[in-house]
Amino acid sequence: MGRRLSAADAEFYRRVDEVLHYLWDPCGVAGEPYARDEYYSYLPRVFSALKAGEGVEEIAEMLVGIEREWMGLGGGAKKAERAAKVLVNYRKKIFGE
């Protein structure tokens, strides 16, 4: 990210990373230790959208778009929506929304 994050932002960034890797996981690599960095390139974009207040629908659409446009996959809407719900709930919990 290039700038120092507050403690809350750093915690949220870690949570976003975990959700993308373990829950969203469109490539199916969550169980592979060597692939822990598979979704790092999407992390700043998703984190920024969440910090900007995007809701479940917008985040799910973003994840499906990433799958289709950047990964060349079919775009798993159910997994994306599930991950988006968890991400928005983490944001609410961490930042007291």
Q: CB–CB of 41/21 below 8 Å? A: no
Structure tokens at 20: 């993308």
In this model, does residue 3 exceed pLDDT 90?
A: no
What end-to-end distance do the CA atoms of the chain give, in Å?
24
Q: Output the six-digit token pair for 14.
A: 């870690």
- C-alpha–C-alpha distance, residues 63 and 59, integer Å: 6
Length of the chain equals: 97
**Using an 8 Å Cβ cutoff, are 23 and 82 in contact?**
yes
Q: What is the pLDDT of residues 20-73, one digit of tens each?
A: 999 999 999 998 989 999 999 999 999 999 999 999 999 999 999 999 999 989
Six token digits for residue 56: 């479940």
